[in-house]
């Protein structure tokens, strides 16, 4: 079905015909060199058609046509390519399925692990499994398409991303699960997790907590060893006394050498154990060698000061000074951190202004002696509007806090901690602040901060708006006979504020430890003497592996900075040297490529998840040996139908090639005949 339309009245078409007729009439009415009347009439018709149609084209005519397109049903075949299914290769079965269905379906095969890739694969080496990313990608590619089904061959195990049940709820496409793996828990002994701080100080003991797990290993005796390189630091025998075994082993390691140190935990194997990859765990700790000067300033004594100081004194790399604000006259630049307990009045405005304007990191403790008006004027990151009245508040942890890690013991401590006293009023917080603790009044968690940090001016600032945290220390000691959680909180606060950003002319950012198969990224900045970023000079990088082999690279220039992606490297320890060419500026460092074994921590297949995915989406669960049953199911499915799409197509006549070729043929034919008969 088609039609012709123009933007002008249809009467202009008759005008075009009249013009064509008139032109041809006046050209051929007195033409006497052509004797044959029929030939004359043919030439007349040619000229009439060409001129009329050229005039018609001036009206910008459009051809409207209705086109019908058939869309075959789409079958999406998805193969799990993670290492947890490496013993269940279903590549050939899925390839055969794709061949058998390509006549009735448009087949789109994919394989996935942490990302999704086109096609099927024989390589099951993925380090993570992300169903959420899979469903997001399929939805973006096939939204509003004629998708009959998604066939997903997997074991139901995932270790990154959201729960796939929630993602699958958002689609109305039936999911047919091809269940792989073994749902029977095999005999397995593993290091489930290791909890540790990524930064420690030279000469200190730092804790490591090892979480062990065992399945069907009752009455076995195993051995746990901790190595620093090749040196054995700790050896411990473990007696397993139950089938489902769980044990947490606390260890302490002495930091004896600076730099990034690798520690290896090795759990002995059980003879019949099938999965031995999860018996080994490597951790990396950055050991720093620094002596930090910390100043505690206040105008009066307070038990909070003593509680905070008691935590700092446990670290021999901290030099602690406690001074009265009224008598303090030392050079503040020698300190690495200044903690201010209360700001009473503006009588100390000169000293406080100098402290605020310095580059030294600050930690404010807002208490009952803090003058809110003066505090708001002095520090712009927080504005408290109140009537100088205090109220009892509990604390609530912000789960999205990312500046440093919080252990499960500390999170539990927050939940059980007694109330603090904080100012009653409205709190206006800087948009760049990172909040760790909010005020909780009764059962309601507010957006009023108790503890937050900000670094908007390249100067780290922490603010604690609650008073009376000394009671936290006493309560924990009365219950636990120690103050581990309290010490963890305030030592990490101090540690975060003390670690300063690089202020050299040549700055290099990179990860000290990178999971295998993850690209290694270097970011660099170069500053002139005025500390303005420039990138006129080239920067080279040479990476050296354990065997002394060198890999040279050059940074790419990006705006006023530098960027380099060196790709992926095998597991091992590497050193590098980066140089700003044409200058004396250079950086040396090390990084480690570590094995990523999260896929091997759990090998028991989760077919219940696959059943739930299939059931809630209108699909079914099948096993690898039931591929022919699945083929029959999908072939007879109600969704196996062709959809016809009607599409209106609008095209300008002048763009239709065959019409223009016809006009050209008419013109050329008329010209040839006229020439042949001696006409001009």
Which DSSP state fits 108?
E
- Structural domain ending residue among the three candidates 267, 288, 309: 288
Q: Enumerate residues 6+ apart whose C-beta is below 8 A from 294.
A: 312, 318, 319, 320, 321, 335, 336, 337, 338, 339, 494, 498
Rg, C-alpha atoms of the chain: 38
What secondary structure, in 3-state letters, does 500-511 show?
A: CCCCCCEEEECC
pLDDT of residue 359: 85
SS3 content of the chain, % helix, strand, coil (to 5): 30, 35, 35
In a domain, 38, yes or no: yes
In a domain, 91, yes or no: yes
- Per the structure, the count of domains in the chain is 5
Per-10-residue mean pLDDT, the chain, length 680: 67 79 77 72 80 79 76 90 82 89 90 89 82 86 87 85 74 86 78 84 86 85 90 91 88 87 88 78 81 87 92 85 85 90 70 84 91 85 86 92 84 91 91 91 90 86 94 90 91 87 78 82 87 88 93 91 92 92 91 72 79 87 88 85 77 77 81 72
Looking at the structure, do residues 99 and 219 belong to the same domain, yes or no? no
Looking at the structure, do residues 428 and 319 belong to the same domain, yes or no? yes
pLDDT of residue 501: 60
Looking at the structure, do residues 569 and 535 belong to the same domain, yes or no? yes
Tokens of 671: 């010209």
pLDDT of 135-194, one tens digit each?
Answer: 888 888 888 888 888 999 898 888 777 778 877 666 778 899 998 887 777 778 888 888
φ/ψ of residue 280, rounded to 5: -125, 140
The Cα–Cα gap between 414 and 472 comes to 9
For residue 482, count CB atoms less than 10 angstroms from its CB and return exposed for 0-12, middle for 13-18, buried for 19 or more: exposed
Looking at the structure, do residues 331 and 455 belong to the same domain, yes or no? yes
The Cα–Cα gap between 230 and 176 comes to 50
Q: What per-residue string of b and e applies to 159-193 under the rule 16 or more CB within 10 Å gives b?
A: eebeebeebbeebebbbbbbbbbeeeeebbbbbbe
What secondary structure, in 3-state letters, does 31-93 show?
A: CCCCCCHHHHHHHHHHHHHHHHHHHHHCCCCEEEEEEEEEECCEEEEEEECEHHHCCCCCHHH
Looking at the structure, do residues 106 and 30 belong to the same domain, yes or no? no
- Structural domain ending residue among the three candidates 444, 469, 498: 498
- Structural domain ending residue among the three candidates 555, 571, 594: 594
pLDDT of residue 345: 65
DSSP 627-642: HHHHHHHHHT-TT--P
pLDDT of residue 65: 73
Helix extents (H) in 191-268: none
Looking at the structure, do residues 575 and 617 belong to the same domain, yes or no? no
* Number of other residues whose CB lies within 10 A of the CB of residue 152: 28
Q: Where residue 630 sits, what CATH number does that domain have? A: 3.40.50.410
Q: Where residue 534 sits, what CATH number does that domain have? A: 2.60.40.1930
Helix extents (H) in 85-130: 91-101
Looking at the structure, do residues 245 and 366 belong to the same domain, yes or no? no
Whether the CB-CB separation of 400 and 420 falls below 8 Å is answered with no
pLDDT of residue 479: 85
pLDDT of residue 679: 66
Its domain, for residue 240, covers: 188-288
pLDDT of residue 502: 57
Residue 278, SS3? Answer: helix
Looking at the structure, do residues 369 and 470 belong to the same domain, yes or no? yes
Looking at the structure, do residues 91 and 198 belong to the same domain, yes or no? no
In a domain, 25, yes or no: yes
Looking at the structure, do residues 49 and 110 belong to the same domain, yes or no? no
Helix extents (H) in 318-469: 349-357, 372-378, 408-416
The Cα–Cα gap between 609 and 602 comes to 15
In a domain, 599, yes or no: no
Looking at the structure, do residues 306 and 284 belong to the same domain, yes or no? no
Looking at the structure, do residues 660 and 609 belong to the same domain, yes or no? no
* Number of other residues whose CB lies within 10 A of the CB of residue 415: 12
Q: Enumerate residues 6+ apart whose C-beta is below 8 A from 146.
A: 71, 72, 73, 74, 641, 642, 643
Q: Where residue 273 sits, what CATH number does that domain have? A: 2.60.40.10
């Amino acid at each position: 079905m088609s039609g012709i339309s123009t933007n002008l009245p249809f009467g202009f078409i008759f005008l075009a015909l009249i013009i064509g007729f008139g032109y041809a009439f006046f050209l051929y009415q007195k033409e006497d060199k052509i004797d044959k009347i029929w030939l004359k009439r043919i030439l007349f018709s040619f000229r009439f058609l060409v001129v009329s149609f050229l005039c018609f084209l001036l009206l910008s005519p459009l051809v409207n046509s209705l086109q019908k397109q058939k869309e075959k049903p789409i079958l999406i075949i998805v193969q799990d390519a993670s290492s947890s299914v490496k013993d269940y290769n279903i590549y050939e079965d899925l390839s055969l399925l794709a061949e058998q269905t390509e006549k009735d379906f448009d087949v789109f095969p994919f394989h996935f692990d942490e990302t999704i890739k086109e096609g099927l694969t024989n390589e099951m080496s993925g380090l993570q499994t992300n169903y959420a990313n899979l469903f997001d990608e399929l939805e973006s590619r096939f939204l509003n398409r004629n998708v009959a089904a998604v066939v997903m061959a997997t074991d139901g195990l995932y270790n990154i991303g959201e729960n796939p049940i929630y993602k699958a709820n958002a689609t109305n496409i039936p999911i047919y699960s091809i269940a792989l793996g073994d749902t029977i828990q095999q005999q397995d002994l593993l290091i489930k997790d290791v909890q540790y701080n990524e930064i420690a100080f030279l000469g200190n003991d730092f804790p490591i907590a090892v979480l062990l797990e065992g399945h069907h290993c009752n009455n076995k005796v195993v051995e746990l060893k901790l190595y620093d390189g090749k040196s054995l630091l700790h050896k411990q025998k473990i007696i397993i006394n139950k089938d489902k075994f769980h044990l947490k082993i606390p260890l302490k390691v002495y930091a004896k050498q600076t730099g990034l140190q690798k520690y290896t935990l090795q759990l002995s194997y059980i003879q019949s154990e099938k999965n031995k990859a999860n018996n080994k765990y490597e951790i990396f700790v950055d050991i720093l060698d620094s002596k930090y000067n910390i100043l505690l300033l206040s105008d009066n004594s307070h038990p909070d000061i003593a509680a905070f100081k008691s935590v700092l004194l446990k670290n021999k790399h901290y030099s602690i000074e406690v001074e009265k604000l009224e008598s303090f006259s030392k050079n503040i630049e020698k300190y690495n951190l200044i903690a201010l307990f209360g700001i009473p009045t503006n009588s100390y405005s000169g000293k406080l202004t100098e402290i605020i304007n310095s580059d030294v990191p600050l930690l404010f403790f807002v208490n009952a002696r803090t003058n809110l008006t003066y505090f708001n004027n002095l520090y712009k990151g927080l504005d408290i509007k109140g009537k100088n009245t205090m109220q009892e508040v509990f604390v609530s942890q912000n789960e999205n806090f990312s500046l440093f890690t919080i252990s499960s013991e500390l999170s539990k401590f927050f939940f059980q901690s007694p109330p603090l006293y904080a100012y009653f009023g409205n709190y206006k917080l800087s948009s760049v602040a990172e909040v760790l603790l909010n005020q909780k009044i009764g059962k309601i968690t507010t957006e009023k901060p108790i503890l937050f940090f900000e670094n908007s001016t390249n100067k780290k600032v922490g603010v604690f708006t609650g008073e009376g945290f000394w009671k936290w220390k006493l309560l924990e000691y009365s219950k636990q006979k120690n103050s581990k959680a309290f010490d963890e909180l305030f030592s990490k606060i101090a540690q975060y504020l003390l670690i300063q950003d690089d202020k050299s002319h040549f700055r290099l950012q990179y990860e000290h430890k990178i999971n295998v198969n993850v690209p290694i990224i270097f970011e660099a900045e170069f500053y002139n003497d005025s500390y303005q970023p420039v990138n006129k000079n080239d920067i080279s990088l040479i990476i050296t592996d354990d065997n002394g082999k060198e890999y040279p690279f050059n940074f790419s220039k990006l705006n006023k900075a530098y960027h380099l992606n060196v790709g992926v490297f095998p597991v091992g320890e590497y050193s590098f040297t980066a140089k700003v060419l044409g200058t004396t500026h250079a950086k040396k460092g090390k990084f480690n490529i570590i094995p990523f074994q999260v896929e091997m921590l759990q090998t028991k297949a989760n077919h219940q998840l696959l059943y739930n995915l299939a059931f809630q989406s209108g699909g079914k669960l099948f096993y690898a040996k039931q591929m022919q049953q699945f083929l029959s199911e999908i072939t007879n499915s109600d969704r196996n139908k062709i959809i016809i799409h009607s599409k209106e197509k609008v095209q300008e006549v002048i763009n239709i090639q065959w019409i223009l070729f016809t006009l050209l043929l008419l013109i050329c034919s008329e010209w040839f005949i006229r020439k042949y008969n001696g006409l001009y």
